[in-house]
Structure 1
Amino acid sequence: MKFLFPISRLAAPAVISCMLLLFLAGCHPQSPQGNPRISIETPDGKIIIELFADKAPKTVAAFLALVDAGRYENTSFYRALTVTNQPSNAPKAELLQGGLWNRRKKRPTLPAIPHESTATTGIHHETGTISLARNEPGTGTSEFFICLTTQPGLDFGGVNNSDGQGYAAFGKVVEGMEVVYKIYQKPEEDQYLDPPVPIFNISRN
């Protein structure tokens, strides 16, 4: 390795140590807050997401437990909500949903994650936000969605859920939003991607 400036023998160990620390930090990039990042690998490219463990600790911990156990290997993005494939009299959402389930695969039984609403976390459903899919509050497990546009109706007090509790947002896309858009625009039938788009794996970045 050549340097632009000569390095003295005394300075060399310190410089090498600094370079090593920078290399190791680059192998496991984190946000300034120390939040973890994950990589979603698809045929269309990678999506890098920062998980807001500092704001939604329960949701992030549960999601990472599934990631670390390899549960998202060979799964898929399977659902896309657009402004044209939802009932005309219902609140609209624009999102891409994925996880362990699809119409060709039974979802495993997993522990439910306590609901961390946007009123508690302060994480709003903006473009690129990742959030936990659910039925009733506190029933979310492994399924997640990514917002294609800002969706205030999915926040606490929003109109998209009759219970008013909204969804549990827990992170945001920091790289690869173009991949999200590409998958979102693939053919769908009755809200379901046909065929589902493979998720090769989700791992810590």
Structure 2
Amino acid sequence: MKVFVMAMLLLAAACAKKDESATRVVMETDAGAVTLELYTDKAPATAANFLNYVDEGAFDGSHIYRATREDNDPSIAIVQGGLWRAWEDGLDADYTPPLPPVVHETTEATGISHTDGVISMARVEPGSASSEWFINVGDNPSLDYGGARNPDGQGFAAFGKVVDGMDVIRNINAAPTREGDDFAGQILAEPIEIKSVKRVQ
């Protein structure tokens, strides 16, 4: 009996610890709702950066504006969003993020690979990620540490995963993109408005 009670206490403690570390947000978009679980334990700096934008309401009224897939980028499939208004004239070249960039947490350090539904940070140089993020549609190993996507080999900083609403993401990824040279025709013809992003756990 004592062994059973002890086992139940350990199970309860483990569940409590899991719940405490789990952080979920719901992203309400014009195309539907998406629920994300953020890995605050594995990628603490990157997850905290995203949550800072969430808590400030900065993503409310922002957009998902980019979709890559076989017809416009054979190497990766993603949707990208954030505060950058990439569809404006000149690709909004004067955009400056409202919060400082975040330290680069590699997939080698976090153990989070760029698999289907994983959310990660867009960047130029390592340590330059700020307000722009992307969600993987299918597996994209070239975005991991040591992958071929970036010449520096540092990959991108993954920090969470879609746990509900991946159908919404796939529909956005399949939406028409506009013609032209901007991101090689990857900018959505009609960017998807993000109405709100809120913590739910």
**With structure 1 as the length reference, what TM-score do the two structures score?**
0.80
Give the CA RMSD over aligned residues: 1.6
Q: Which residue of 2 aligns with 1:82?
A: 69
One of 108, 112, 116 as aligned partner of 2:96: 108
Q: Deviations over 1:10-42 (max 9, x none)?
A: xxxxxxxxxxxxxxxxxxxx9646210011111
Q: Which residue of 1 aligns with 2:131?
A: 142
> Secondary structure of 1:80's partner?
strand
> Secondary structure of 2:50's partner?
helix
Q: Which residue of 2 aligns with 1:41?
A: 28
Instruction: Give the deviation of 1:108 after TM superposition.
Output: 3.3
Q: Which residue of 1 aligns with 2:181?
A: none
Instruction: Give the deviation of 1:51 after TM superposition.
Output: 0.2
Structure 1 or 2: larger helix share? 2
1:25-64 alignment runs, 5 A limit: 32=19, 34-64=21-51
Q: State yes or no: 1:200 paired with 2:176.
A: no
> Secondary structure of 1:58's partner?
helix
On the 8 A contact 1:130/1:169 being kept in 2, the answer is yes
Instruction: Give the deviation of 1:76 after TM superposition.
Output: 0.4
Distance 1:71 1:167, change over 3 A: same
Q: Which amino acid aligns with 1:74?
A: G
Distance 1:64 1:32 in 2: 17
Q: Which residue of 2 aligns with 1:183?
A: 172
Instruction: Give the deviation of 1:201 after TM superposition.
Output: 1.2
Q: Which amino acid aligns with 2:160?
A: G
Q: Give runs of ≥4 in structure 1 deviating > 2 Å.
A: 30-34, 103-110
Q: How many residues align?
A: 172
- Structure 2 unaligned segments of length 5 or more: list them: 1-16, 179-184
Q: Which amino acid aligns with 2:194?
A: I
Q: Deviations over 1:82-108 (max 9, x none)?
A: 11113xxxx711000000012325633
Q: Which residue of 1 aligns with 2:160?
A: 171
Distance 2:149 2:18 in 1: 31
Distance 1:102 1:193 in 2: 11
* Percent pairwise identity: 44
Q: State yes or no: 1:96 paired with 2:84.
A: no
- Structure 1 unaligned segments of length 5 or more: list them: 1-29
Larger Rg: 1
Distance 1:41 1:187 in 2: 21
Q: Deviations over 1:52-92 (max 9, x none)?
A: 00000001111101100000010100000111113xxxx71
> Secondary structure of 2:54's partner?
helix
